[in-house]
Amino acid sequence: MSNKIVTLEIDLEPADNHRLSSLCGPFDDNIKHLERRLGVEINYRGNHFSIVGQPHTASAALDIIKRLYVQTAPVRGNIPDIEPEQIHLEIKESGVLEQTTESEIPHGKEVFIKTKKGVIKPRTPNQAQYLMNMVTHDITYGIGPAGTGKTYLAVAAAVDALERQEIRRILLTRPAVEAGEKLGFLPGDLSQKVDPYLRPLYDALFEMLGFERVEKLIERNVIEVAPLAYMRGRTLNDAFIILDESQNTTIEQMKMFLTRIGFNSRAVITGDVTQIDLPRGAKSACVMLSKYCQKWTTSALTSS
């Protein structure tokens, strides 16, 4: 991918302050959303917009702005608001994020994540690609043995997205396969029942955000840690969702999980196909995904 930076300009017609306000959103939230998702810089004055970025992303941003402005046309005298879902759909239909492939990571470019506890850098090319995939794809699969950083880097990417206000909440889940997903017989409340299975996710959060802040975010439901069985019937918008230990999910459970992903949400699925603990005869969804996910343009697979 070329490192060339271009500046594209456009005057939106007809100039209408109310329509422009709808396009940009409150406090320019819609513009900031586009900048974050596409990696461009958007400046405007009145109806004159300039977009700075790499050629394909800048061109896509310009086209999306034009299409969104058309959608602000008055309907029965009322100017409709531009919602985050509309921006998400326009980005998806443009296909611009699908153009980022493994070969497009510039040689020598450092990929890293900043947290308040420090900078997290990948140690291998696969880890660098894994981090890049989590930024550029809706669904990322990290398949590999224990100790390769699958869960840790996924939590780091989720924390980074939350700090940048790209998403509103983080949801961490894993199958409690040792209890057969039937947790009722265990002592304590839900948190006490599932804590042993979710401890690795908590540990990563505590390291990156600190114990007190994690506790506050959990109290406000900004961070939610739950067993996979408790996701049924939900739709998660503006969320970063991590499914850990996916080798212990059945195909039916994986279908349920994938259909929980809503607008402006990202999902990371990690697993190790050498550590399947499912009952005899049950098929692991992780094995199936590792075969087929690369055929889906909105997902990416990283194997260690």
Does 71 fall in a domain? yes
User: Are 90 and 165 in the same domain?
Assistant: no
Q: Is the dihedral of CA 105, 106, 110, 113 positive or negative?
A: negative
Q: Are residues 114 and 91 in the same domain?
A: no
pLDDT at 7: 93
- For residue 142, what pLDDT is reported? 87
Q: Say if 276 falls within a structural domain.
A: yes
Range of the domain at 73: 6-99
Q: What is the pLDDT along the chain (304 residues), one digit of tens a residue?
A: 456 889 999 999 999 999 999 999 998 989 988 887 888 899 999 999 999 988 989 999 999 999 999 999 999 889 999 988 888 888 888 887 665 544 444 444 556 777 776 788 888 888 888 888 888 788 898 888 888 888 899 999 999 888 888 888 999 988 865 544 455 555 556 666 666 667 778 888 888 888 899 999 999 999 988 888 778 888 888 899 999 888 888 888 888 998 888 888 899 999 888 888 787 878 888 777 766 665 554 556 665 5
| Pair 129, 162 in one domain | yes
pTM comes to 0.68
Predicted confidence at residue 192, as pLDDT, reads 63
Of 99, 120, 143, which marks where a domain is finished? 99
89 with 189, same domain: the answer is no
* Confidence (pLDDT) at 101: 46
pLDDT of residue 154: 92
CATH number assigned to the domain comprising residue 28: 3.30.1370.10
Residues 223 and 168 in one domain: yes
What is the pLDDT, as a whole number, of residue 179? 43
Residue 69: the pLDDT is 95
92 and 112 fall within a common domain: no
Residues 76 and 178 occupy one common structural domain: no
Alpha carbons within 13 A on the beta-carbon side of 178: 9
In this structure, is residue 1 part of a structural domain?
no
Domain boundary among 70, 99, 128: 99
* 174 & 33 share domain: no
Last residue of a domain, one of 99, 115, 142: 99
Please report, for the domain that includes residue 257, its CATH number. 3.40.50.300
